């Protein structure tokens, strides 16, 4: 079946007649057959979904009614190719629900999700289809299949097993009921989070309360107020607004107010409360896993991860606590000591104080204020720098194509060309926050790569990176923070994984790899941002053209491991919380906030706030595909530190090293086990040593 991302695994049906003018029904008459966003309207989705289900149902029926004996070609490959219209429609629908949603799209989603789940179950629980798949699987040793065909066969067979194909009678009906419920819960959870975020605004009318804030933050808050028709300055829960206030505002009460607003999202006594939704999601995931024969959802998930089981995940997290927590506690003590100089000996450092006094300590230690970097990180220059890194490493080039339709004026589309000049991919970039876009940053695709075995044509991918960066103002272009540039590099690393995809089958293409492996390409790219030779290629003052001075570059390098222990403990705490929820073996009926505080307590190094709650807004693990998988960021960090050591050993721009990374990891997708791919690149299994060395924890 055509690959659909984690958010798109559930499928559809609506009783609405099809329109001949529906762009989903026609061949896309656009450059590279890109999505005709300019022609797609909300009313086109349901008819296309209806017809897509009808077509895929017929395609599956053709497989099961085939009188010939099951083979790889007439069963596995036919299944892989089914559902084209449905996949294309849902890809656009769900991607825009994240990047450019509206009330009508949300209503459509609520209507179709149960039916989408039903369609998905109708396929995965189709006994006749599974029996044909099983025949091919049981005969694979004698079928003379090539390695990639064997991997696809295993993946298809496993997907049926893990979607209930072996369940009988009432168990199958229970599976249908649970998966439909889960799809609805995930939708509700995400919508509540988005609406609660959009509904909040902190209005400041007294200019004196803005003391300490940089000009860029004040100017942005003024523009937000103008957009919202409010006098004064408005701060929101979007990262470009929230982070500067927590980092620079001298008014402690103001910091506390915004911190609590952010960290109590979806806990309030209103229609957006997610406390019960969290319980239901956890219990439903557990029930599905147990129905399939596993003790917990973590056991089910980790079976198909590099980590393999929860013991290995906890070993990683506990090893990191042992290695980093002493450093983290020292960092906290040092920041608190600085605060006490001005606030008094009885001052207790609270979470809303951390960013503020950490920034002051960084300035004191390194004479380094990140706001000083903004003029050198103008978005257009950063784009040149990020694209230029790919050119330097891999020889690829990017050219904006204004003939490609886009879904919002902020979005730009680029043709990507390989080093030999051949067309490689389309890349969409979407940088700034808006009401219809969820928080965070992500990479996705509108079309994945695959090869037509009949013609040999390599159908190239259409990749998108979506972020929420500082917006331009009336007086200044978009000037990014160091963290925002880092995020750009991270998502661009994911994009390269999709851009360089070179596999026969779409289901194995690009980022279709184990979740604890998929972050390697993205996190690898972040390493370059503390390299002088790389920063010098693009970090130029937006007004004077002056290159970022060597003294400031050195400060970036020197400050690279500032509060590295705290940062590690923060990520480990998220991993512990995730694992605590999904290793449950009994239905959870307790208090969500109390459970959370106990779950991640070992990694907490700041006072815990009684009414704060991460679980009600932790979209990664409750609505974003990272359930029992958030540890993946730290798992992949071990990999990326070890992998980047190869670049350091050979020269950070060494094209031979980059080409090996491209051919052995980026291009291979999920065609081999991740450890095989990694060893093919690195020549050895990774160890935590490179990470400890990079972070200054060990010499």
Beta bridge partners of 462: 426, 447
Contact status, residue 529 vs residue 486, Cβ threshold 8 Å: yes
Contact status, residue 443 vs residue 464, Cβ threshold 8 Å: yes
Helix 215-228 to helix 239-248 angle (10° resolution) is: 140
Rounded to 5°, the CA angle 558-564-569 comes to 175
DSSP state at residue 316 = H
Contact status, residue 482 vs residue 370, Cβ threshold 8 Å: yes
The CA distance from 277 to 483, in Å, is 32
Contact status, residue 481 vs residue 506, Cβ threshold 8 Å: no
Instruction: Show the 3-state SS of 566-625.
Output: HHHHHHHHHHHHHHHHHCCCCCCCCCHHHHHHHHCHHHCCCCCCCCCCCHHHCHHHHCCC
SS3 state at 70: coil
SS3 state at 464: strand
Closest CA to 424 of 433, 432, 415: 415
The CA distance from 613 to 629, in Å, is 19
Helix 564-582 to helix 275-291 angle (10° resolution) is: 60
The CA distance from 322 to 177, in Å, is 43
* Token pair in block for residue 647: 């670049």
Q: Is 491 a catalytic residue?
A: yes
Query: Any idea which residue has 């890109």 for tokens?
Result: 34
Among 100, 491, 506, 519, the active-site one is 491
User: Which residues contact residue 436 at a Cβ distance below 8 angstroms, ignoring those fewer than 6 apart?
Assistant: 99, 100, 101, 102
Query: Any idea which residue has 């505080």 for tokens?
Result: 597
Helix 45-64 to helix 103-124 angle (10° resolution) is: 10
The CA distance from 308 to 306, in Å, is 5
Query: Any idea which residue has 């791919």 for tokens?
Result: 677
Residues with active-site annotation: 491
């Amino acid at each position: 079946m055509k690959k659909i991302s984690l958010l798109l695994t559930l499928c559809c049906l609506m009783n609405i007649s099809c329109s001949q003018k529906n762009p989903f029904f026609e061949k896309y008459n656009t450059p590279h057959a890109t999505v005709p966003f300019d022609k797609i309207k909300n009313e086109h989705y349901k008819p296309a979904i209806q017809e897509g289900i009808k077509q895929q149902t017929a395609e599956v029926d053709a497989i099961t009614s085939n009188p010939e004996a099951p083979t790889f070609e007439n069963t596995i490959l036919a299944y892989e190719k089914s559902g084209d219209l449905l996949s294309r429609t849902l890809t656009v629908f769900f991607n825009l629900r994240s990047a450019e949603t509206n009330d009508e799209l949300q209503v459509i989603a609520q209507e179709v999700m149960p039916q989408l789940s039903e369609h998905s179950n109708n396929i995965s629980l189709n006994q006749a289809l599974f029996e044909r798949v099983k025949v091919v699987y049981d005969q694979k040793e004698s079928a003379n299949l090539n390695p990639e065909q064997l991997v696809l066969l295993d993946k298809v067979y496993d997907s049926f097993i893990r979607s209930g194909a072996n369940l009988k009678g009432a168990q199958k009906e229970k599976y249908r009921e649970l998966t439909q419920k889960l799809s609805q819960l995930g939708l509700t959870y995400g919508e509540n989070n988005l609406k609660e975020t959009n509904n909040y605004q902190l209005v400041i009318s007294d200019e004196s309360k803005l003391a300490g804030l940089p000009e860029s933050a004040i100017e942005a808050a003024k523009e937000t107020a103008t957009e919202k028709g409010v006098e004064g300055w408005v701060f929101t829960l979007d990262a470009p607004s929230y982070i500067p206030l927590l980092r620079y505002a001298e008014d402690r009460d103001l910091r506390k107010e915004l911190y609590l607003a952010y960290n109590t999202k979806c806990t309030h006594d209103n229609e957006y409360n997610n406390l019960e939704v969290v319980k239901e999601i956890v219990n439903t995931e557990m029930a599905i896993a147990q129905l399939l024969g596993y003790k917990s959802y973590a056991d089910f998930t980790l079976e198909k991860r590099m980590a393999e089981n929860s013991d290995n995940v906890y070993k990683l997290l506990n090893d990191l606590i042992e290695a980093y927590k002493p450093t983290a506690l020292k960092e906290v003590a040092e920041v608190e000591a600085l605060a006490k100089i001005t606030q008094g000996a009885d001052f207790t450092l609270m979470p809303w104080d951390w960013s503020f006094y950490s920034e002051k300590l960084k300035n004191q230690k390194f004479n380094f204020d990140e706001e000083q970097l903004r003029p050198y990180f103008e978005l257009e220059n950063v784009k040149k720098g990020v694209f230029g890194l790919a050119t330097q490493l891999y020889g690829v080039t990017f050219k904006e194509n204004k003939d490609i339709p886009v879904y919002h004026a902020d979005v730009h589309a680029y043709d990507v060309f390989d080093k030999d000049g051949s067309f490689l991919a389309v890349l969409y970039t979407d940088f700034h926050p808006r009401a219809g876009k969820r928080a965070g940053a992500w990479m996705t695709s509108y079309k994945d790569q695959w090869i037509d075995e009949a013609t040999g044509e390599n159908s190239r991918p259409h990749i998108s990176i979506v972020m929420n960066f500082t917006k331009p103002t009336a007086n200044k272009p978009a000037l990014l923070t160091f963290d925002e540039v880092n995020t750009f590099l991270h998502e661009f690393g994911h994009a390269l994984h999709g851009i360089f995809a070179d596999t026969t089958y779409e289901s194995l293409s690009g980022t279709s790899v184990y979740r604890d492996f998929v972050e390697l390409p993205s996190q690898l790219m972040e390493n370059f941002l503390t390299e002088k030779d790389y920063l010098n290629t693009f970090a130029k003052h937006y007004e004077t053209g002056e290159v970022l001075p060597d003294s400031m570059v050195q400060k970036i390098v020197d400050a690279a491991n500032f509060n590295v222990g705290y940062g590690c403990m923060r990520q480990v705490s998220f991993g512990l919380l995730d694992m605590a929820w999904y290793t449950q073996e009994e239905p959870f009926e307790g208090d969500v906030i109390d459970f959370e505080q106990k779950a991640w307590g070992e990694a907490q190094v700041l006072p815990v706030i009684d009414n704060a709650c991460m679980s009600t807004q932790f979209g990664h693990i409750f609505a974003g595909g990272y359930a029992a998988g958030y540890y993946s960021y730290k798992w992949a960090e071990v990999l990326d530190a070890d992998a980047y050591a190869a670049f350091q050993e050979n020269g950070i721009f060494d094209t031979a090293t980059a080409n090996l990374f491209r051919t052995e990891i980026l291009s291979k997708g999920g065609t081999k086990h991740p450890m095989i791919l990694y060893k093919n690149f690195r020549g050895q299994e990774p160890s935590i040593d490179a990470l400890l060395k990079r972070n200054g924890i060990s010499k």
